[in-house]
Amino acid sequence: MRRLVLLSARNQDEATRCEEAVTSLPVEWTVVAPASFNQNFDEGVFLEPLRQGVLALPAGDNADPFVDAEGGPRAFAEPR
């Protein structure tokens, strides 16, 4: 194993414990904790606003990370 990539969650006690366990290991690691996946935006409540060119979310001034479900973890597993 070259690198361990953990798909985590935000603001969750159990996820924090998992992150602590992974980051204590003697291996290269990356923790990915997306706000959402890009694939979630092409259906449901997000689809019509995006077709109109607007995505309004209650995130304030925060920069929320959106990750591609297929390519994201692979990119972190093979950093350049």
Q: How does pLDDT run across 7-66, given as a tens digit for each residue? A: 888 878 999 999 999 999 999 998 888 888 888 888 888 888 889 998 888 878 877 788
- Which pLDDT score, from 0 to 100, does residue 79 have? 60
H/E stretch holding 27 reads: none
The DSSP letter of residue 56 is -
DSSP, collapsed to helix, strand or coil, labels residue 22 as helix
Q: How far apart (Å, rounded) are the C-alpha atoms in residues 40 and 33?
A: 15
Q: How far apart (Å, rounded) are the C-alpha atoms in residues 9 and 56?
A: 22
